[in-house]
Structure 1
Amino acid sequence: MRLHRLEVTAFGPFSGTEEIDFDALSDAGLFLVQGRTGAGKTSVLDAVCFALYGQVPGARNRAKGLRSDHAAAGSVPQVVLETTVRGRRLRLTRSPEWERPKLRGTGTRKEQHKVLLEELVRGAWTGLSNRIDETADLIGDLLGMNAGQFCQVAMLPQGEFAGFLRAKADDRRKVLEQLFATEVFADVEKWLGERRAATGREADRLRADVLSIADRIAEVTGAPPPHAPEAPDADGVPRPRSGEPSAEPLDDVAALPGWAARLADAHTGMRAEADERRAGAAADLQAARAALEDARALADRRRRHADALARRDALGDGAEERSRIGSRLDAAARADRAAPLVRAVGERQGHAVQARRRTDDARSRVAALLPPDPSEDVLVKAERARRDEIAKLEGARADADRLRGVDTERGSLATEFGRLEPEQARLAAALADLPAAVEARRAALGEARLAAAGLPGAEAALADARRRLDAAQRRDQVEHLLAEAEAAHRDAVDAAQEARDRVQELRQARLDGMAAVLADDLRDGEPCRVCGSTEHPAPVASLAVVPTEDRVERAQAEYEAAGARREEESTRVGRLRAEHDGLLETAGETTTEALAAELDGAREALAAAEARAAEAERLEAVLHRDERELERVRDAARDNDRRLTENRARDRELAAEQERLRAELDEARGEDATLESRIVRLGGEAGALAAAVEAQREAARAADELAAARARAKAAAQAQGFRTPEEVLAAELPDEDQGDLRDRLRRFEDEEAGVRDLLNDPDLVAAAAAPDPDLPDLHERFAAAESAHTEAASAAHTAALRCDRLADLRARLDTAVRAWEPAAGRHEVARRLAGLASGKDPANRRAMSLPAYVLAARLEQVVAAANERLARMSGGRYELVHTIEKAAGDRSRSAGGLGLRVADAWTGQDRDPVTLSGGESFITSLSLALGLADVVTAETGGAEIGTLFVDEGFGTLDAETLDEVMDVLDGLRDGGRAVGIVSHVAELRARIPAQLRITKERAGSTAKIVV
């Protein structure tokens, strides 16, 4: 990173706007930032840091007021920094938070922190961001370091490193943690501790799962828990519990599967014994059940045989009822075959009656159209005659529709005539007036265009008059300023000459009085600094006051300031004289009053020309509108005449067609009101005649069908054994009643067959002949066998469930142990690593935490880099030594490994840094600061620092040591790096010609570059 330009306004001690050209200072490689105490030397560094990061170094950042107290009330505090970072030219503009006066009323209003980041791209500044957080991220990424690291690396606050050199290890750790990113190592230590706790919890949880399963195995088997065994007997074997197999006490989780296997083997034998007892009890139960079932079967057969004898006697009493049911079912079956034909006669008789009624109604409706009692042929002929006439009249309907269309069209034409004829008269009147009006507009437009042709000339004349008037006004101002500048230049020349004379006088007076000054220092017996003699017989005495060196230097500074003022005034006079000559060429000697009058005349001429130009534009638009109106009227008149001619011809054609159609329709309508009413009347009469014909035919068919149905019904009744159709209907039975009778008959038959089969069954016959069995005794024997079997089966089932449950728990125990073993291994690894990282494990012989170890390594690198420069600045006498032992009283794990000692080659002893003198402390701490800057830059991967500042501390050095320090600082310029020294030491002003001088005044500080 290289600084180019810094501009500060109302910032810190700077009340106005001060611009610092770092390019001019960097050309010298080494430059001095000098000024009196409190002038604002460090504020320049604050402005650089604030522009980059929005904050100032150290404790000054806690002071919120960065705005200058000397600045005017409304001045906006602002810092502008141009810099190049990694080949990119950037410009940062920042304004800190400040209180500005309200625009209205009294009081103040807070203005927030603002920032603008720009980049120079192809010669133009392009905005990158105006957000504070986004700008901070961009600058941090480009520089590769945060604000604290930048302040330590680029500004080398020497006073802080003197404290760093003498600090305790714990305080030194806090500084190093701010500079180096050790958070990741602290996070690693924390993560390892959390990992140790997490793996421990996991291993404990899995061990608890294993022990829980083992407890359940012990509960299932009745054995003592493996971690709480029973007291062993005299042989050393644990006593079993309640007749259960014995179990060995085990505390080792890995041995629990073997313990469970031994329990499972013991319970397998117990299960086999229980299964054998259950098999014997099952055989006894089977024999008792078979004897009981046989006895029950014999008793049941004896009962069934006795029941069959009783039912056979009961069936003999119901023979008469069976015969009656059979006769009734036979008559109902014959009636079912003839009943449909008998019922059909009634249906046909009803149809015949309805047909005769419809015939009478239809003939009554057409009685007025025909002679009395017409035959079917007369009805048919009358219908056909009306249908033929309707067909003829249907053809006349199209003529009626056409007549209505002709009437409508003639009405539309009449309406159109009422619109077109007045329009024809209006268009004729317009055609008589418009041509003359268009010609008048065209003549007026020509005159207006001629008048507007002078508009460009009037505009040019106005611009020339305005330019000459502006030049004349500036000419009068410059004449006044030139007179003032010439007077000021004469005064500056006189003041510079007077200052030069005063410097020469003071230097001559000091030379003249130097002998008296030396004589004042002579003492008897002491050698003279000029001749070395110890005797002083005639010392020079001077009555005049000898000026001091400081007074001569002040006079020289006043002379230099007067010379600079003279050059400035000379430059100002030349600039004003050149501007005055150029203005004379433009305005001449004409007065401003005359030029103002010319400008007013030019404005009036331009206004008149603009008015005529506007009038020409208006007339051109009006002419164009009138021409379009004339053309439109002509087209409309032609179209109107054409449409009138076409409509009159069409009306004549429609009138002739209308007369013809009316004559034809009157003839077709006859005596009816309309053609449509005639068609409706004839259609109704034809329909009535057709209905009468159909009704007469339907009545004849119904009478024939009734006679045929009566003949079929009589024949069917006689064929089924009935004398009349009425007997058929009397013998009918509903299907439900017939079904009930058939079911009763079937039950009689089925029961008779069942009884017959039972009485013929040999088993039942044999059982009836056998003795009656003893069922109560057999029930008692079966109950005893069943109770014995239930007890044996329950014992066997319990043993089987226990073995199955034990097998399941063993599988779960094996799985739980396999899950616990890797978790226990992971916990052991995590425990050891966490102990090493925290320094608590015995394997960590130095008992140092991981962050402390990393910081110790970084400090070792810093010491190595610092010793390269310390050896040169101390003439090879001093060397920094990094120690890893804790200081007395340091008990913190993070404080170890951060000790510093100073090796003195002259004495061969290591010294505490607090024993160094002021100058020795300065060169040692400066070496440490430079070494730390190198290590931090390399560690963060940051941009190369092209502009470096070293802040204060040179006043403690002797001349020889100062030479060594300056040689080291000169070496920092390798690779084009610029080094700025912030100091008020007078000797450095003579050694370093390139200077940034900060001057403190009552109204605020100012900055000036001297190269």
Structure 2
Amino acid sequence: MRLHRLEVTAFGPFSGTEVIDFEALSDAGLFLIQGQTGAGKTSVLDAVCFALYGAVPGVRNDVKGLRSDHAAPGAAPRVVLEATIRGRRFRITRSPAWERPKLRGTGTTTENAKIVLEEHDGDWTGLTTRIDEASDLVGQLLGMNRDQFCQVAMLPQGAFASFLRADAAERRKVLERLFAAEVFTRVETWLADRRAATHRQAEALRARVADVAGRIAEVAAAELPADLPPEALPAWAAEVAAHHADILACAETLRAEATAGLAAARAEGEAAHALAERQARHAQALRRREAFTERAEERRRLTSRLDEAERAGRVVGLVRQARRHAEQADRSRRYAAHLRERVEPLVGADVAEDVLGKAERDRRDEIATLDGRRADAERLRRYDAERAQLAGERARLEPAAADLARLLTELPDQVRARARALEAANVAAAERPGAQHAVETAERRLAAAHRRDRLDDLVVQAEDAHRAATDVAQEARDRVQALRQARLDGMAAVLARELVPGEPCLVCGSPDHPRPLASSTDIPGQDEVDRAQAEADRAQSRREEAAAEVARLRAEHAHLAEDVGDTTAEALAEDLEDARAALESAAARAAEADRLAFELSRAEERQDKARAEHDQLTERLTRNRARDEELAAERDRLAAALDEARGEDPSLDARVARLTREADALKEAVEAERQAAHAERAHAESREVAATALADQAFRTAEEALTAWLEDEEQGELRGRIDWFSREEAAFRDRLADPELIAAAAEPAPDLDALRATLETAEAVHTTVASSAERAARRRARLAELRADLDAAVDAWLPAAEEHRVAEHLAGVASGKSGANRLGMSLSAYVLAARLEQVVNAANERLARMSAGRYALLHTIDKAAGDRKKGAGGLGLRVTDAWTGQDRDPATLSGGESFITSLALALGLADVVTAEAGGTEINTLFVDEGFGTLDEQTLDEVMDVLDGLRDGGRAVGIVSHVAELRARIPAQLRIRKGRTGSTTTVMV
């Protein structure tokens, strides 16, 4: 990955928009990010990380607080990063969530986080605006998460000094974030969970075995051996089942004997009951015969009455039909006489039926003729209504047409007058654009003149400030040089004061000190030198800022001078007033032209509209008058024809209604005559048929037949009573003829009470014996079921117990708590220890150069004093000192030694993480702080190592405020802080 360009707006300490050209910095290979404390050096790294991952490193990852407090209330925070990743150039525009002022009212509203991911392929092409999709794509291309990227590309030295001195637990947390060790932790957890699960399963199955064995003991009323293992329980159950099989065989023998005795008692009792039942049936048949003989006369009367009713039923219907026909014939005669009386005024009295029919047809024919005239009457009414509408329309249109004709004579003069006025106004308004441009030019030149005059004073003030800052910076630098020289000159005296008789000298190694040097002047301490250097750095920064301000003001003054020259502001102000007056005059003329154009358009539209309306009204009046004349002629013709057809009736409808009533009355009279004749014929025929049927059924009169007739329900009741007599006679005759009943009646009656007592005794004995046998059989069957359950439970428990043994062994080895794990390390700790060993090997290559071969890191698997947890360990670090040949705790290193050691460790870890992530090339990396603790020689060694990182086109950025690095590294990104926010400057 290589960075090209970074743009930040309202982000962190940057209130405005700052653009950082990493292309120019990367060309130098090694560049410095420097600035005062709190200026925002680390915020540049935060912006890069936020653009890629949507979060900043470590504890600063408070996304809601990323917006600059110095920014304007409505300014949106944004980071734009252009970078090449795996040969593809991307532009990432990302904004965090922030609270913006509401557009209406007071208060704020939340703006959600946003992202735009684009790729450059000849032109910028949008890939996605979804945060999750963009994060997935960046993570896949880089091949590492945020923690890994921050460790590989940003090398946080403070964090690695802590990592160097941390205990195993803290070191493990850092390594777990950087390496994919969670899979091995999940393996440990899975094996531990599997051990617990198999233990629960085995114990559950063992409990199942014990439960089934307990139920066998309960069913068999036996005692369960307490010390018997699960696999021996099936043999014990087989012994218990064999004992109960013998008990069942004895009970079955006793039940067979009791069953035979019960069967004999039941057979004897059933025979006695059958004899008693046959004797009772024979006695009952004798009693029914005597009762039947007493009711013989009743049976004869019922039979005679049923026969008479059946004969009457054959003629009653015919008699009733004849009487209905007689009543119908009488009604028809009276109705026909009534209708003939109604039509006598039309045709005369006592006319024949065909005369009535001809009179009806004559009237129907005339009605049909008159119906044809109804359409003419309807048309006459429509003609009158339409003429009335035409007259009303003429009354409305004629005055409107007269008004429009008068208006058309006045409008042409008005249109011509407005056209002439508009032409004159347009000529005057054409000067407006030129007047507007003259005003804008005058305003710009006047503002430039005011700024030019102000800059005269500002340039003088800036030059004075620059000279003062230069003097202060030079004095501070001279003081630093003097203090350093004094300290160097007095260094021998300082070493002499530290000599102890008998102990070797730190310089020559001799225990003798014959002539130690003494100094008569005060020797400055290192703290005093450091304070002087810090003051000199601050003075130099102020000097550079003052120089930059002078250059900026001079350039601005020169630009303004080119624009306005030596013209005074007062003269330019007068020019502006004249231009504004000319613009106002042109604007007034343009407004007048607009008004006149509008009025002309309105007048022309009004004239065209009036002409169109007048033509339309004239055409409508012509059509109206022609239609009225046509309708008047047609109405007169229809009125004469309808008067002739109406005759003496008041109207055509009245004549049609009268003729319709007369024709309907004649039709009803003819129909009534025909129905009366038909009813007479039907009455004569039904009367003759009824008389013949009465004679055939031996009835003298119709009333006699009606009296003898019975309803179907009554006849059914008689038949049922007669059938009962027949069934009763057949029943007792059959029983009295039965040989079994005759033989039973001849035998003595049996003693049923004695036989019942014998049967009850046999049943009680059989119940007792059968109950015992059933219990024994159920117990044996239940034991068989439980034995099968026990065998199944033991079969299920055996593999579960073996599986738990294997799982327990593997979990113990993976967790480091088993004796089979000789190192006593968990699986995840072992993997992390291997990664740490790789890191140490990579770090020692650089540490040897930076420490001149003195120090080397040593990875140990021994547990530290605080690593009491079983299975931990394997993450120890020691420092080997080649000068003493001893191993040291990293906590004993000095500040500078800790810096170079932790820097080597960070670089080594970056190499290993990069390889772990798939070898993603990081062509731009940053080293954050820590150089102030190094002496000049060590700083040279460290710079050589960092310079070596540039191999292959890699760019290295050092984040530091150490003054000496500004002299060593010409390519710099300077960050200045101020009350309104920080700003950036790229110097190459």
Superposition TM-score tier, normalisation by shorter sequence = 0.7 to 0.9
Residue 646 (str. 1) matches residue 627 (str. 2): yes
Residue number in structure 1 paired with 2:688: 708
Residue number in structure 2 paired with 1:440: 413
Counting matched residue pairs gives: 945
Residue 167 (str. 1) matches residue 157 (str. 2): no
Call closer, same or farther: CA 1:112–1:852 in 2, change over 3 Å. farther
Call closer, same or farther: CA 1:452–1:184 in 2, change over 3 Å. farther
Structure 2, unaligned runs of 5 or more: 494-528
Residue number in structure 1 paired with 2:424: 451
Residue number in structure 1 paired with 2:663: 683
Distance, in Å, in 2 between the alignment partners of 1:745 and 1:593 is 147
Q: CA deviation at 1:146?
A: 5.7
Tell whether the 8 Å contact from 1:922 to 1:956 is kept in structure 2 after alignment.
yes
Pairing partner for 1:634 from 592, 615, 621: 615
Q: CA deviation at 1:175?
A: 3.7
Call closer, same or farther: CA 1:814–1:368 in 2, change over 3 Å. farther
Pairing partner for 2:637 from 656, 679, 683: 656
Distance, in Å, in 1 between the alignment partners of 2:420 and 2:560 is 47
Residue number in structure 2 paired with 1:480: 453
Pairing partner for 2:369 from 366, 371, 395: 395
Q: CA deviation at 1:406?
A: 0.8
Instruction: Tell me the amino acid that sits aligned with residue 655 of structure 1.
Output: D
Q: CA deviation at 1:151?
A: 4.7
Residue number in structure 2 paired with 1:756: 733
Call closer, same or farther: CA 1:16–1:787 in 2, change over 3 Å. closer
Tell whether the 8 Å contact from 2:443 to 2:576 is kept in structure 1 after alignment.
no
Q: CA deviation at 1:277?
A: 4.7
Pairing partner for 2:902 from 921, 925, 948: 925
Distance, in Å, in 2 between the alignment partners of 1:690 and 1:384 is 11
Q: CA deviation at 1:416?
A: 0.5
Residue number in structure 1 paired with 2:391: 417
Query: Helix, strand or coil for the counterpart of 1:866?
Result: helix
Q: CA deviation at 1:687?
A: 4.5
Call closer, same or farther: CA 1:957–1:589 in 2, change over 3 Å. closer
1:699-738 equivalent positions in 2, closer than 5 A: 700-701=680-681, 704-705=684-685, 708=688, 712-713=690-691, 716-738=693-715
CA displacement, residues 321-369 of structure 1 (integer Å, 9 cap, x when unaligned): 4444444444444444455455555545544554555455445555666
Call closer, same or farther: CA 1:420–1:314 in 2, change over 3 Å. closer
Residue 201 (str. 1) matches residue 174 (str. 2): no
1:317-716 equivalent positions in 2, closer than 5 A: 317-343=294-320, 346-351=323-328, 353-355=330-332, 357-358=334-335, 361-362=338-339, 365=342, 374=350, 378=352, 380-420=354-394, 423-424=397-398, 426-427=400-401, 430-431=404-405, 433-434=407-408, 436-437=409-410, 439-441=412-414, 443-444=416-417, 446-448=419-421, 450-451=423-424, 454=427, 457-470=430-443, 472-473=445-446, 476-477=449-450, 480=453, 573=554, 576-577=557-558, 580-581=561-562, 592-594=573-575, 596-609=577-590, 611-612=592-593, 614-666=595-647, 669=649, 674-687=654-667, 689-690=669-670, 693-694=673-674, 696-697=676-677, 700-701=680-681, 704-705=684-685, 708=688, 712-713=690-691, 716=693
Tell whether the 8 Å contact from 2:449 to 2:569 is kept in structure 1 after alignment.
no
1:90-109 equivalent positions in 2, closer than 5 A: 90=91
Tell whether the 8 Å contact from 2:63 to 2:96 is kept in structure 1 after alignment.
no
Tell whether the 8 Å contact from 1:969 to 1:979 is kept in structure 2 after alignment.
yes
1:264-343 equivalent positions in 2, closer than 5 A: 264=241, 267=244, 271=248, 274-275=251-252, 277-343=254-320
Tell whether the 8 Å contact from 1:860 to 1:882 is kept in structure 2 after alignment.
yes
- Structure 1 vs Structure 2 CA RMSD: 5.4
1:835-854 equivalent positions in 2, closer than 5 A: 835-854=812-831
Percent identity of equivalent pairs: 48
Distance, in Å, in 1 between the alignment partners of 2:323 and 2:935 is 156
Query: Helix, strand or coil for the counterpart of 1:674?
Result: helix
CA displacement, residues 457-506 of structure 1 (integer Å, 9 cap, x when unaligned): 4244324433542464256447636755886899799999x979999x99
Q: CA deviation at 1:754?
A: 3.4
Query: Helix, strand or coil for the counterpart of 1:689?
Result: helix
Q: CA deviation at 1:740?
A: 4.4
Tell whether the 8 Å contact from 2:5 to 2:83 is kept in structure 1 after alignment.
no
CA displacement, residues 631-669 of structure 1 (integer Å, 9 cap, x when unaligned): 4422431342133123302321221121122122125x4
Query: Helix, strand or coil for the counterpart of 1:887?
Result: coil
Distance, in Å, in 2 between the alignment partners of 1:499 and 1:171 is 51
Deviates more, 1:476-485 or 1:945-954: 476-485
Call closer, same or farther: CA 1:68–1:800 in 2, change over 3 Å. closer
Call closer, same or farther: CA 1:895–1:261 in 2, change over 3 Å. closer
Q: CA deviation at 1:82?
A: 3.9
Call closer, same or farther: CA 1:624–1:424 in 2, change over 3 Å. same
Distance, in Å, in 2 between the alignment partners of 1:1001 and 1:10 is 14
Q: CA deviation at 1:897?
A: 0.8
Call closer, same or farther: CA 1:358–1:502 in 2, change over 3 Å. closer
Query: Helix, strand or coil for the counterpart of 2:431?
Result: helix
Distance, in Å, in 1 between the alignment partners of 2:600 and 2:885 is 111
Tell whether the 8 Å contact from 1:292 to 1:779 is kept in structure 2 after alignment.
yes
Q: CA deviation at 1:748?
A: 3.6
Residue 977 (str. 1) matches residue 954 (str. 2): yes
Q: CA deviation at 1:214?
A: 3.4
CA displacement, residues 548-577 of structure 1 (integer Å, 9 cap, x when unaligned): 999999999999988997797577656644
TM-score (norm: length of structure 1):
0.77
Call closer, same or farther: CA 1:815–1:447 in 2, change over 3 Å. farther
Query: Helix, strand or coil for the counterpart of 1:454?
Result: helix
Query: Helix, strand or coil for the counterpart of 1:31?
Result: strand
Query: Helix, strand or coil for the counterpart of 1:910?
Result: strand
Call closer, same or farther: CA 1:800–1:651 in 2, change over 3 Å. farther
Instruction: Tell me the amino acid that sits aligned with residue 416 of structure 1.
Output: L
Instruction: Tell me the amino acid that sits aligned with residue 28 of structure 1.
Output: A
Pairing partner for 1:882 from 859, 872, 878: 859
Distance, in Å, in 1 between the alignment partners of 2:768 and 2:556 is 131
Residue 912 (str. 1) matches residue 889 (str. 2): yes
Structure 1, unaligned runs of 5 or more: 229-248, 523-547
Residue number in structure 2 paired with 1:27: 27
Tell whether the 8 Å contact from 1:455 to 1:609 is kept in structure 2 after alignment.
yes
1:716-865 equivalent positions in 2, closer than 5 A: 716-865=693-842
Distance, in Å, in 1 between the alignment partners of 2:922 and 2:289 is 132
Q: CA deviation at 1:995?
A: 4.3
Residue number in structure 2 paired with 1:251: 229
Tell whether the 8 Å contact from 2:415 to 2:603 is kept in structure 1 after alignment.
no
Q: CA deviation at 1:795?
A: 3.9
Distance, in Å, in 2 between the alignment partners of 1:800 and 1:519 is 115
Deviates more, 1:995-1004 or 1:933-942: 995-1004
Call closer, same or farther: CA 1:29–1:897 in 2, change over 3 Å. same
Call closer, same or farther: CA 1:366–1:678 in 2, change over 3 Å. closer
Tell whether the 8 Å contact from 2:411 to 2:603 is kept in structure 1 after alignment.
no
Instruction: Tell me the amino acid that sits aligned with residue 659 of structure 1.
Output: A
Query: Helix, strand or coil for the counterpart of 2:873?
Result: coil
Pairing partner for 1:964 from 935, 941, 950: 941
Distance, in Å, in 2 between the alignment partners of 1:897 and 1:205 is 38
